[in-house]
Amino acid sequence: MIKDLKEEILLISMEICNILSNHKDYTLVYEHVGEYILNELNKSLGDISFLSIYIMDDSGKFLKEEVVCSKNSTTQGNNLLPIYQVSQEFNDTLNILQIENGDEYYIKLLLRNADHLIGLLQIISKKQLTTGTLDVLNYLGTSISIGILQIILSNKNIESKKLLNVTIDVSRNLQPLVSIDEIISTFAHLVTKHLNFDRITLFLYDEFDKNISIKRCIDFNGNTFDLETIPKIPNLNKGPKSLDYLVGYWVPLISNTRVVGAALFDNIYSSYPISDLILEILSPLCNQFASTVENIRLFKNLQYSAQRDTLTDLYNRRFFEEQMINLDKEDFLPLSLIIGDVNGLKITNDIFGHYEGDKLLVQISKILKTVCPSKGIIARWGGDEFIILLPNTDKKQVKKICNDVYSACLSYENYKFQLSISTGYSTRITLDKTIPQIIKTAENQMYRNKLLDRDKFRSSFIDSLKKTLEKNCKETVQHLDRMHHLAESFGYHFNLTDNEICDLKLLALLHDIGKVAISKDILNKSGKLTTEEWELLKTHCEIGCRIAQSSTDLAHIANYILNHHERWDGTGYPTGKKGLDIPKLSRIIAVLDAYDVMLHGNHYKSALSFEETIGELQRESRKQFDPHIVDVFCNAILT
């Protein structure tokens, strides 16, 4: 999985920093790093047959191959790559390429520090790497770039070596830290100590790059305070920028993937000048700091994601099962547990689509988080199941929580239908009863309650859909009232049994229930529908059928709803049935529906006179309508 690969690459990056920071023999460091990267990538990805590392030479015109590693050998490289050739393959934002070459794939990863090219890592893989994997490999470039930069700086004069020690010291001290506050404090302490700054002020963006989330100043005595206001940060796209009237520099904080923030280094108390060598080292130090901050954020995000359900942001099953083990102690007794199963998820997915089903699950999860006490651990247990573990919670308390969940669902009004979740609970008083046993007890109670809730939910569900349709469609209420009256008044003319007349009256009220899933913009459009809109509107027959099938009280009219727009000549929808293959009640309701719409009009068609309506029914006899039903209806209504 990509999450696991990110964690592995993060650990590999940390070890590379360690190798590059602590290696004593710089003539062999690239060979050791190359061997390590090749071995670790083979463990993580497999089928990596070759690796080479190129570093910018002193002229700045070529990348020199420092090491060539294969599974069987490691040697010094001897190739040169012109910079212009590399520039033709990459742009300013592209850091990694994958090129197919026969049955192998060449992966080229630029090694950059901010905007400066340092080198190139080239890998040959026997299999094609996914886009997600290539994105993860980008993080590897940051660590290699920082380490290589340290090596380059080590070859400068004595002062440069002193500054390199600062970089190494900062790197060593930042690596083991696990919180951003610790990273800020340690970085500021080391830089003020080694480079003699009066103050360092750090401004960090939030993870969305929209707002400054941290604005902290640390002076040479270690005093720390957060700023109440944020000064205007200059444009740092071209690198560090000096203060206008004071001794100090703004420096961007840039990781390998984004701008993390900005740092202000100043000597406003001592006015001690800042040398060019110190200024030169500030950008790499800041980039190293930025990458450390970004890696910590990435690691924390990975940890968070590993524990959470991506849809509801509740805990996932794996984390919940870990907590079951942690709470399997006497200190947490009485230990209660709730299992809930959302009612109506499948029919919601079938009618409105999975996006609406997801919204249903999210809203239920919000209710659970609102009702559940803070000590409770709420998780998504399965597709439509939730589970809550409640330490030090007795039977009376857990029962109240279940009742509160029921009440919260009942009072929620901003969804297409009444929210409902069937729950069951169980309480463990002694360790004699295992947690799996109380889960089973809660599940059994939940399933019993689901059976009891089923009819109530179905009735509420259909009522809610009818209200939604009435709200969304302009003529629905009056049209359905008239349809019910027509079915009641003329049903007996068609030689229907009493049960069939009851079904016809029910069909008159619910034949268009599937329109609840159609956009009200389409339902109420005054002009001609587009082809796409017309195809969407035609789906209301199938949707209505699925709605009826979801209820035992309506399942027997589902097929009538499905076929009420079929035509006698076979040109109707949704399946193109014709003649007597169309159910009789569907043929009757088609005539009654057309009669009412023509006689009373609607938002897109003007009403016809009674004589015109009868004439139109007779003209469509044998084409749209069953001729026998048209004759019976017209004779009945004309007498």
- For 524-539, what is the mean pLDDT? 91
Angle at 171 between CA 260 and CA 282, to 5 degrees: 55
Q: Which of 264, 287, 142 is nearest to 212 (CA)?
A: 264
**Residue 443 vs residues 287, 316, 414: alpha-carbon distances, Å:** 53, 18, 29
Cis peptide before 334 (omega within 30 of 0): yes
Cα–Cα distance for residue pair 252/240, rounded to 1 Å? 7
pLDDT at 163: 72
Which of 8-17, 324-333, 520-529 shows the highest mean pLDDT? 324-333
Reply yes or no on whether the pLDDT at 486 is more than 80.
Answer: yes
**Residue 599: partners with Cβ closer than 8 Å, 6 or more residues away:** 607, 608, 610, 613
As a whole number, the mean pLDDT across the chain is 88
φ and ψ at residue 204, rounded to 5 degrees:
-115, 135
Reply yes or no on whether the pLDDT at 269 is more than 80.
Answer: yes
pLDDT at 167: 83
Q: DSSP letter for 129, please.
A: P
**Residue 259: partners with Cβ closer than 8 Å, 6 or more residues away:** 205, 209, 252, 253, 290
**Residue 251 vs residues 194, 242, 271, 282: alpha-carbon distances, Å:** 17, 9, 18, 7
Cα–Cα distance for residue pair 254/496, rounded to 1 Å? 79
Q: Which two tokens stand for residue 360?
A: 């249903």
Reply yes or no on whether the pLDDT at 320 is more than 70.
Answer: yes
Cα–Cα distance for residue pair 409/418, rounded to 1 Å? 7
Reply yes or no on whether the pLDDT at 606 is more than 60.
Answer: yes
| Structure confidence by residue, pLDDT tens digits, 45-54 | 888 899 999 9
The answer to which of 159-173, 326-340, 363-377, 539-553 has the lowest mean pLDDT is 159-173
Reply yes or no on whether the pLDDT at 58 is more than 80.
Answer: no
Task: Say if residues 154 and 147 touch (Cβ distance below 8 Å).
Answer: no
- For 507-529, what is the mean pLDDT? 89
Cα–Cα distance for residue pair 377/383, rounded to 1 Å? 18
Reply yes or no on whether the pLDDT at 26 is more than 80.
Answer: no
Cα–Cα distance for residue pair 481/492, rounded to 1 Å? 18
Confidence label for 245 from pLDDT (cuts 50, 70 and 90): confident
- Strand pairing report for 80-82 and 96-101: unpaired
**Residue 143: partners with Cβ closer than 8 Å, 6 or more residues away:** 12, 13, 14, 16, 17, 20, 291
Cα–Cα distance for residue pair 1/318, rounded to 1 Å? 15
Task: Say if residues 264 and 191 touch (Cβ distance below 8 Å).
Answer: no
Angle at 625 between CA 624 and CA 626, to 5 degrees: 140
Percent of the chain at pLDDT exceeding 70? 96
| Structure confidence by residue, pLDDT tens digits, 554-605 | 899 999 999 999 999 999 999 999 999 999 999 999 999 999 999 998 777 8
| Structure confidence by residue, pLDDT tens digits, 178-188 | 899 999 999 99
- For 421-430, what is the mean pLDDT? 96
In a 3-state reduction of DSSP, which class is residue 336?
strand
pLDDT at 605: 80
Handedness of CA 284, 289, 291, 292 (dihedral sign): positive
pLDDT at 303: 84
- Which domains, and CATH codes, for the chain? 2-148 (3.30.450.40), 158-305 (3.30.450.40), 317-460 (3.30.70.270), 473-638 (1.10.3210.10)
Reply yes or no on whether the pLDDT at 476 is more than 70.
Answer: no
pLDDT at 180: 92
| Structure confidence by residue, pLDDT tens digits, 443-475 | 999 999 998 888 788 778 878 887 878 787 766
pTM above 0.85, yes or no: no
**Beta strand ranges found along 208-311 (DSSP E):** 212-219, 224-226, 241-242, 248-254, 259-266
**Residue 389: partners with Cβ closer than 8 Å, 6 or more residues away:** 320, 323, 324, 327, 335, 336, 337, 376, 377, 379
**Residue 263 vs residues 191, 203, 283, 295: alpha-carbon distances, Å:** 12, 6, 10, 18
Task: Say if residues 150 and 20 touch (Cβ distance below 8 Å).
Answer: yes
- For 348-363, what is the mean pLDDT? 91
Task: Say if residues 423 and 416 touch (Cβ distance below 8 Å).
Answer: no
Q: DSSP letter for 177, please.
A: -
Cα–Cα distance for residue pair 72/378, rounded to 1 Å? 51
Radius of gyration of the chain from its Cα atoms, rounded to whole angstroms = 36
- For 502-516, what is the mean pLDDT? 90
pLDDT at 27: 58
Strand partners, 261: 204, 253
φ and ψ at residue 125, rounded to 5 degrees:
-120, 145
pLDDT at 475: 63
Strand partners, 241: 250
pLDDT at 388: 97
Confidence label for 402 from pLDDT (cuts 50, 70 and 90): very high
- Strand pairing report for 116-125 and 48-56: antiparallel
In a 3-state reduction of DSSP, which class is residue 353?
coil
Percent of the chain at pLDDT exceeding 90? 52
Confidence label for 3 from pLDDT (cuts 50, 70 and 90): low
pLDDT at 533: 93
Task: Say if residues 34 and 51 touch (Cβ distance below 8 Å).
Answer: yes
φ and ψ at residue 526, rounded to 5 degrees:
-85, -30
pLDDT at 539: 94
pLDDT at 290: 93
Reply yes or no on whether the pLDDT at 1 is more than 60.
Answer: no
